[in-house]
């Protein structure tokens, strides 16, 4: 039997819950709607879902708090789409920083929500498995370089620290989490967009170029981040965990 995507809607507005769940079901999805974080947690204790829709403005634990809780627990890999009635850029950036996969401002067309859900699910499923080595808080060695995931900078062969911008560090983390795997621009966007709110497709190329400069990589014959024509980029070196000292 084919898998039917299950969407969990968390919104304190009953009318919105009923409208969204009804629309998603009519379009071939399973949908469950709950009014608050307590019921969300109770449901997730016994059931699995493919995506969570969180309303930001809720009494008690709001959507930002719930997003943080999901990302810190066993559902950290579950895609999250956030809804808000406030067109507040700060809320949007905070939500993405906390790990939300997308953000939609009310009022919105139901068709747009469905399109966003499908896009998030599609992007999530095309990602290779994440090795998550950057979460160990150790030094990660690749080639002549080591990445210090605590101080968030590069160390060269002599132990000299090379400062990285936030965007450069996040992109390098993506590469060391997926060494020797070709990542296309959509994958790189998906893996970095929750931390860099204003990234666009071609800016990935610029960011890769800047990162190559930090790695002292020859742009014409790069040894570390190689370009795979018509496919994307790959960190060509294996990554090892290196004990400090």
- CA dist 32 and 8 (Å) reads 5
- CA dist 78 and 172 (Å) reads 23
Per-residue pLDDT tens digits for 43-83: 999 999 999 999 988 888 988 899 988 987 888 778 889 88
pTM: 0.59
Tokens describing residue 69 = 């809780």
Per-residue pLDDT, averaged over 161-184, amounts to: 85
If you write DSSP's letter for every residue of 65-99 in order, what string do you get? HHHHHHHHSTTTTS-EEEEESS--HHHHHHHHHTT
Report CA dihedral (206, 199, 143, 231) to the nearest 10 degrees: -80
pLDDT at 39: 96
Per-residue pLDDT, averaged over 167-172, amounts to: 82
Token pair 């070196």 in the structure block, residue: 237
Per-residue pLDDT, averaged over 95-111, amounts to: 80
- CA dist 198 and 193 (Å) reads 8
DSSP type of residue 133? G
**pLDDT bucket at 91, cuts 50 / 70 / 90:** low
Long-range contacts of 44-48 (CB under 8 A, 24+ apart): 44/8, 44/75, 47/6, 48/6
pLDDT at 178: 87
């Amino acid at each position: 039997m084919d898998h039917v995507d299950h969407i969990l809607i968390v919104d304190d507005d009953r009318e919105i819950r009923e409208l969204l769940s009804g629309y998603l079901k009519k379009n071939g999805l399973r949908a469950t709607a709950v009014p608050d974080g307590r019921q969300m947690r109770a449901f997730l204790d016994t059931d699995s879902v493919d995506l969570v829709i969180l309303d930001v403005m809720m009494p008690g634990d709001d959507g930002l708090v719930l997003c943080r809780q999901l990302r810190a627990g066993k559902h950290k890999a579950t895609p999250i789409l956030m809804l808000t009635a406030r067109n507040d850029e700060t809320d949007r950036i905070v939500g993405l920083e906390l790990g939300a996969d997308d953000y939609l401002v009310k009022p919105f067309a139901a068709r747009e929500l469905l399109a966003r859900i499908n896009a998030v699910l599609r992007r999530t499923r095309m990602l290779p498995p994440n090795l998550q080595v950057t979460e160990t808080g150790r030094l990660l060695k690749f080639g002549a370089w080591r990445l210090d995931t605590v101080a968030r900078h590069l160390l060269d062969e002599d132990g000299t620290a090379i400062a990285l911008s936030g965007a450069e560090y996040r992109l390098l983390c993506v590469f060391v989490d997926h060494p020797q795997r070709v990542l296309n621009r959509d994958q790189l966007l998906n893996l970095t967009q929750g931390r860099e709110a204003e990234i666009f497709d071609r800016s990935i190329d610029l960011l890769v170029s800047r990162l190559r400069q930090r790695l002292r990589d020859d742009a014409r014959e790069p040894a570390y981040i190689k370009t795979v024509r018509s496919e994307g980029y790959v960190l060509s070196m294996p990554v090892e965990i290196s004990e400090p000292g």
